[in-house]
Amino acid sequence: MTAPEILHRFSVSSSATGNRRSVLVHVYKDKADVVRSARNYGMSVDSAGAITNSFGYRHPAPEHMRHMAIIRLAESQLDSNTLAHEVTHAALHIYFADCCKWDSRARVHIDGANEELAYLVGDLTGALHYELRDRGYLIPANSY
């Protein structure tokens, strides 16, 4: 199986935890390409318009990693709900790496079982964005 074409590839980063951590972002043409990419990475995925592979503690120590996560997005899923949802997954892994102990009991919630939190953040961010735009506010992107 050939790898799907990545339309855009870039990274975003933050130093909010005291360590500069980056997340790689791949944008694909459609959901089928996102799924193919995830399967090529070894994930069992049937359908998705966006996927985050957060490396957490399944990979080398964070200080040896160039990127803490890869967010894969389909062009049709570039809405604030999806972006906030996927960034929540990545942010939780960064938080775990920098703010929790390696043997923390919170690991199960931070290192994978956090879908409810990601949906909460995505839904609330999307709703807030919609309500503000509906009232005439243009939401600017932060400049870094």
In a domain, 110, yes or no: yes
Looking at residue 57, its pLDDT comes to 47
Residue 114's domain comprises 8-134
In a domain, 139, yes or no: no
In a domain, 68, yes or no: yes
In a domain, 86, yes or no: yes
Looking at residue 110, its pLDDT comes to 64
Reading the chain (144 residues) residue by residue, the pLDDT tens digits are 678 899 999 999 999 999 899 999 999 999 889 888 878 777 767 666 677 776 544 555 666 677 888 899 999 989 999 999 999 988 988 888 888 765 666 666 666 668 888 999 999 999 999 999 899 987 777 755
Overall number of domains in the chain: 1
Q: What is the largest CA-CA distance in the chain?
A: 47
In a domain, 3, yes or no: no
In a domain, 38, yes or no: yes
State pTM to two decimals.
Answer: 0.83
In a domain, 118, yes or no: yes
